[in-house]
Structure 1
Amino acid sequence: MAIKTHTWISLWFLLTTPVILWDVGYCFMRPRSMIGGDLHWIWEPYGIYQNVDLLYGIPALEEANGFTNAQSLMNILETILNLTYLYLAHISPWPPATLIGFGSAALTLSKTMLYWAQEYFCGFCATGQNDVRTLVVYWVIPNGLWLLFPALIVYTLGKDLVGQLGLADRAEIAAKERKSE
């Protein structure tokens, strides 16, 4: 059975890989990646972000808050799964690739929902210091993309999986009917 692929999903997995790895690098290299650190030049835009989302800033680092690095570790797993999906869907076709892409997107969606929920339930402890414009431009929109696209991928690949399962079920029924004749 041919693997059904979606260009936009493959592009999302491909184009987000360097972004995710750049983010992981920033998180794991703190404090060297932060303002004043010898490697900050690699992560210059984080000079703004570390003050927008304090989980990425000095307060979380000083408090030894492990959430930022824990979610970065999850990002590595998700990226490995994304690249595995791309390989199995486009280079070495394997029908269960759809399940890997679905699982990866579901992990990303769940982790991002947890990130937002954690922020809500702590009373906006990491972002509450921002004015509305700063919060929307630097936190809601960028992080919202990590809700929107994975949700759309889960929906799309989920539909594909249901179709594949239906096809397999119909094939099994047909085989049993032929066998009983």
Structure 2
Amino acid sequence: MAPKMHWWISLWFAVTVPVIFWDAGYCFLRPRSMKGGDLHWIWKPYAIYQDIDYIYGLKALQEGDGFPNAQSLLNVLETLLNILYLSLAHRSRSPAAPLVGFASATMTLSKTALYWLQEYFCSYCSIGHNSAFDLLVYWIIPNGLWLLVPSLIVYQLGKDISDALHVAAAAGSSLAGSAKKKQ
């Protein structure tokens, strides 16, 4: 049975692939990707963001904070799962596609929740210096998308997986009932 297709899930996974690779590149190539670095031209918008979120800034780099690169490595793994989902869903129409998409979205959601919780438990140590406006526009809204959309994907693909399991269970009990009748 081919998986249900949800255009918005495929769109999210397709659009986030280059975004995540771009973000990971910034983190892995610091300080060259930062303001003043020879590769900064590729990541110009980060000139603002590295001052909004110190995890992306000079402070974390100088302190040897491993979180940005650990997060980026997980981002790359999630993105590889996103690519696998797109291939399974659109090329081979594999029934495994929803499971792969569910796993990837769960990873994204969990990692993003950890990112937010880290800020809460360190008393907003990386973002607390911002004005309410800057925090809303440059941190809460963009990072909130990484909570909202993966939550919706987890819900939708979880429902699809559950529905498929119910269909399979019903078919299995129907077959078992037919087999007993033949005996």
Q: TM-score range by the shorter chain?
A: over 0.9
Task: Give me the whole-angstrom Cα distance separating, in 1, the residues matched to 2:142 and 2:124.
Answer: 17
Which string of whole-angstrom CA distances, capped at 9 and with x for unpartnered residues, describes residues 131-176 of structure 1? 0000000000000000000000000001000000000100110010
CA distance in 1, matches of 2:142, 2:2: 34
| Match of residue 100 from structure 1 | 100
Aligned match of 1:4 = 4
Runs of 4+ in 1 over 4 A off after TM superposition: none
Corresponding residue for residue 132 of structure 1: 132
> What is the CA distance between 1:93 and its match in structure 2?
1.6
Consecutive unaligned residues in structure 2, runs of 5 or more:
none
Counterpart of 2:25 in structure 1 is 25
Query: 1:13 is matched by which residue type in structure 2?
Result: F
Residue type of the alignment partner of 1:118: Q
Counterpart of 1:123 in structure 2 is: 123
The separation in 1 between residues aligned to 2:129 and 2:32, in whole angstroms, is 24
Shift of 1:5: 1.0
- Secondary structure class of the residue paired with 2:64: coil
Quote how far apart the aligned CAs of 1:3 are. Answer: 1.2
SS at match of 1:32: coil
**How high is the sequence identity, in percent, across the aligned residues?**
61
SS in 2 for 1:37: coil
| Structure 1 residues 50-94: Cα deviation after superposition (integer angstroms, max 9, x where no partner) | 000000000000000000000000000000000000000000121
* Residue type at the aligned position of 1:155: Y
Structure 1 segment 1-181 matched on structure 2, within 5 A: 1-181=1-181
Counterpart CA distance in 2 for 1:2 and 1:32 is: 45
Report the count of equivalent residues: 181
Cα distance in 2 for partners of 1:154, 1:98 equals: 10
* Letter paired with 1:101: G
**Deviation (angstroms), 1:96:** 1.2
TM-score (norm 1): 0.99
CA apart distance, 1:39: 0.3
Segments of 5+ residues of structure 1 without an aligned counterpart are none
Query: CA separation in 1, counterparts of 2:37 and 2:140?
Result: 27
Alpha-carbon separation, structure 2, partners of 1:71 and 1:90: 28
- The 2-side partners of 1:170 and 1:9 are apart by 28
RMSD after superposition: 0.4
